[in-house]
Amino acid sequence: MKKFYIKTFGCQMNVNDSEKIAGILRDLGYEKAGSPEEADVIIVNTCSVRAKPDNKAYSFIGNLKRIKKEKPDTIIAVGGCVPQKEKKSILRFEHVDLVFGTFNFMKIDELIERARKERVVEVLNSKIREEDRVPLIDSYLENVCVAYVTVQRGCNRFCTYCIVPFTRGRERSVKPELVVQEVKRLAERGVKEVHLLGQNVDFYNYEGTDLADLLYMVSEVEGIERIRFTTSHPCGFSRKIVEAMRDIEKVCPYVHLPPQSGSNRILEKMNRGYTKEEYIEKVMMLKEEVPEVALSGDFIVGFPTETVEDFEETLSLVETCVFDQGFVFEYSPRPFTKASTFKDDVPKEEKNRRLQELQNLLKTQAEEKNRKRLGKVEEVLVEGWSPKGKELSGRTRDNKLVVFDGDESLIGEFVDIEITETSPFFLKGKVLERVESILARKG
């Protein structure tokens, strides 16, 4: 039997695209390989949002040369965000047989067949309308109970630092009926929690059906007990969405709402479209309507011209909003973006100092929030073994990672867990009982 190996870099969107690629290959009779060495087809799904993932992908691809030399029949394919915009950076690797973009992964089967005969480079532009067919591909799921459903692709916002609008094209939403159909199919396979994905999921709009409407539609699907959505954009995150979160039992109290900066001058230079005050106002509205909500966000430090005073505005935004989780990135100039024409004038050491300081603040906030869970009983959906493989892990409704002792039979089940230990990044606990259905218990 033929085997495939997929290495994925980047965001959940890429992870979901890889799952769909795996679904196509599985339908053709391929089996998953445990390592690249064992595979007949190796696929690298790349990310170019910052220089770091870019470089990681290059070194992974570079290392595949050895495999190609030992087993020349192996097909090496590279797709995703890097080739979508910079084919040349991949073409220089002579051992790569197939280069494809973010708009044509659905045809991976045909592309692989062609690549067995000659080198294939196929990167489509964003004019193609792929949205009505992508959801029909059955994903190959690693996780038995949690699945991603891409509902919106692309981005029209052009934040000045960001390459995504160039690698993913214009914003387009998946037909709601197709989303529901996909969620139903996942529920039939035992999935209990779905994550609706979009680069700017709040801007989901299909002929007038918006994200709040879609949440209501998806919540009707029997068997699905938890719904999450990500990533939110402060401009699109509306009162209507917040009310849907408040009113739909299945929608989990967790929002990833990246502020990026707390300085109005920097926010404007980033073309984010909101002020610090507007961001805070949205968060306060959210916390008022959904008091148990957990908040997470992304931050960029060291954007061109960012002063210590600007950075202090970011710290003050964090102090006011209080986050459960935060991801901090040092600004990294990306090709094609407007900010790449600005002088990258904050020294590397200063970027790193700001990163540490902001991370420390976020860590303290997370630690304090998590400490309040000590002794509490949490509803956890058990996802699988923790990375070390000794304990089980799962998440609370508000997306906190919980690890605990237990056996295989709990995977895919809801359990009540008493929290016995906390840290900034996860909770530890012990299983009290198995819960058949969270909703049935409440209902």
Q: In the range 94-133, which residues lie near ligand F3S by CB under 6 A?
A: none
Least distance in angstroms from the C-beta of 50 to ligand F3S: 8
Which of 157/185 has CB closer to ligand SAH?
157
- Cβ proximity to ligand SF4: between 219 and 275 the closer is 275
Single-letter amino acid, residue 407: D
Which of ligand F3S, ligand SF4, ligand SAH, none sits in contact with 38, Cβ below 5 to 8 A by type?
Answer: none
By the rule CB under 6 A, 199 interacts with ligand SF4: yes
49 is a site residue for ligand SAH (CB under 6 A): yes
Instruction: Determine what percent of the chain falls in helix, strand and coil, rounding each to the nearest 5.
Output: 40, 25, 35
Q: Are 125 and 154 in contact (CB under 8 A)?
A: no
Q: Which does 314 bind (CB under 5 to 8 A by kind): ligand F3S, ligand SAH, ligand SF4, none?
A: none
Nearer to ligand F3S, 52 or 430 (CB): 52
Could you say which DSSP state residue 184 is in?
H
Under the binding rule (CB under 6 A), the answer on residue 233 touching ligand SAH is yes
Q: Which does 13 bind (CB under 5 to 8 A by kind): ligand SF4, ligand SAH, ligand F3S, none?
A: ligand F3S
Question: Is residue 10 a contact point for ligand F3S (CB under 6 A)?
Answer: yes
The answer to whether 416 and 403 have CB atoms below 8 angstroms apart is: no
Does 168 bind ligand F3S (CB under 6 A)? Our answer is: yes
Give me the least distance between CB of 108 and ligand F3S, in Å please.
17
What's the rounded Cα separation, in Å, for the pair 349 and 148?
37
Query: Is 361 exposed, middle or buried (CB count within 10 Å of its CB: 0-12, 13-18, 19+)?
Result: middle
Return the structure tokens found at 266: 């920097």
Cα atoms in the 13 Å half-sphere on the side-chain side of 37: 2
d(CA 352, CA 354): 5
**Which DSSP category does 426 fall into?**
-
Contact between 200 and ligand SF4 by CB under 6 A: the answer reads yes
**Angstrom distance (rounded) from CA 272 to CA 373:** 34
Gap between the Cα atoms of 34 and 321, Å rounded: 43
Separation of alpha carbons 81 and 409, rounded Å:
38
Using CB under 6 A as the binding rule, whether residue 165 contacts ligand SF4 is answered as yes
Name which of ligand SAH, ligand F3S, ligand SF4, none residue 397 binds, using a CB cut-off of 5 to 8 Å depending on partner kind.
none
Q: Residue 14, interface with ligand F3S (CB under 6 A)?
A: yes
Partner from ligand SF4, ligand F3S, ligand SAH, none binding residue 332, C-beta < 5-8 Å depending on class: ligand SAH
Inter-axis angle of helices 176-188 and 211-219, nearest 10: 30
Nearest approach, Cβ of residue 329 and ligand SAH (Å): 4
Burial 268-288 (b: 16+ CB within 10 A, else e): ebbebebebeebbebbeebee
Are 20 and 105 in contact, with CB atoms under 8 Å apart?
A: yes
Among 89, 126, 260, 263, binds ligand SAH (CB under 6 A): 260
Residue 10 contact partner, candidates ligand SAH, ligand F3S, ligand SF4, none, CB within 5 to 8 A by sort of partner? ligand F3S
Question: Binders of ligand F3S among 33-52, rule CB under 6 A?
Answer: 47-49
Contacted by 165, from ligand SAH, ligand F3S, ligand SF4, none: CB < 5 to 8 Å by type: ligand SF4
CB 64 within 8 A of CB 36: yes
Chain residues binding ligand SF4 by CB under 6 A are: 155, 157-159, 162, 164-165, 199-200, 233
